[in-house]
Amino acid sequence: MAISSESVEGLIGTFRESLEAQGFEIYPFKVGWYNAVLSPAHHLHYPADTLAVVVLSSPSMFERSFLPFLRSQCCEGLRDPIDQCSAHTVSSAVSLCFPSQSVDVSYDYEMLPNRRPKFLAQTAAHVSGAAYYYQKSDVHSPPWADKKMFGVCIHPKLGGWFAIRALLVFKDVRAGADLQQKDPPDCVRSQEERIELLERFNFRWQDWSYRDMVPTEERYSDQQREYFRTPPGQRGELLRHWGFLTDTDSEKQSSTNKQG
């Protein structure tokens, strides 16, 4: 049986509050909205009206979840600490808030055996209304000829200061017709700005200027910037310097290429 959008909010409300307190945002959508824009190879194999939720991390995730996570647990040496923290936070909240639901959870960093990502995070963010996904196809007569240009999501309040962390699919929940798709706010409207955005993201992503393409309410703190600016292979050492890891833990830290 399909549930109304009010019941969707009733179902996910506690989860939303719990994750917001930890620096995350959540946005519900129907699997069919996602599949409608993707080539079949990327489809999620659930009925079109199945309820899904995409989880974003906002700048405060670093202080509200990541630092407390490092204080309370010993990171496993071989996995990226940020990935471990989002997986820990999201999966704990799922078990707590949905004890009797069957929920498939995928993370941004997870790949299928065919090396494709388990879900396309930017498409999910766009179709859920969370953040507009600007692609080369959003520019008329693009100036880059046949060059491949990666697309980028811009959030109306956070600009580019966020990441897309997880996808939840409620296998047994069908959302009713009153859960309506809303376009994400189009905050980079002119052709010139879109060209500038895609050039910043593709040619100068290391200077982070793409994140400031629109005025933002929140940005990463100095400590978070220091963490993400440190090459992944040296982050274990930085955490040890901050007093979070033991020598053995930091030696084991992987050199996975993770950014926020």
Find the shortest distance in angstroms from Cβ 16 to ligand B12. Answer: 19
Residues in region 35-94 near ligand B12 by CB under 6 A: 37-39, 42
The residue within the footprint of ligand B12, chosen from 52, 67, 152, 179 (CB under 6 A), is 152
- According to DSSP, residue 214 is labeled S
Q: Give the binding range for ligand B12 (CB under 6 A) out of 13-21, 64-72, 118-126, 244-252.
A: 118-126
Strand 2-3 relative to strand 24-30, pairing: unpaired
Closest Cα to residue 60, out of 26, 20, 87, 92? 20
- Residue with token string 């593709």: 202
Evaluate whether 218 touches 58 at the Cβ level (below 8 Å).
yes
Q: Which of 5, 48, 205, 252 binds ligand B12 (CB under 6 A)?
A: 205
Question: Kindly report the CA angle at 240 between 235 and 246, in degrees rounded to 5?
Answer: 120
| Window contacting ligand B12 (CB under 6 A); options: 14-22, 87-95, 160-168, 173-181 | 160-168
The residue range among 61-69, 95-103, 117-125, 213-221 that interacts with ligand B12, by the rule CB under 6 A, is: 117-125
Q: What are phi and psi of 79, to 5 degrees?
A: -110, 150
Asked if residues 58 and 23 have their Cβ atoms less than 8 Å apart, the reply is yes
Nearest residue (CB) to ligand B12, 44 versus 121: 121
Nearer residue to ligand B12 within complex by CB, 11 or 188: 188
Tell me the closest approach of the beta carbon of residue 110 to ligand B12, in angstroms: 8
How many residues sit close enough to ligand B12 to count as binding (CB under 6 A)? 26
224 touches ligand B12 by CB under 6 A: no
Least Cα distance to 53 among 28, 32, 25, 89 occurs for 28
Residue 137 CA to residue 155 CA, distance in Å, equals 19
Q: Which residues bind ligand B12 (CB under 6 A)?
A: 37-39, 42, 108, 117, 119-123, 126-127, 133, 135, 150-153, 160, 163-164, 201-202, 205, 259
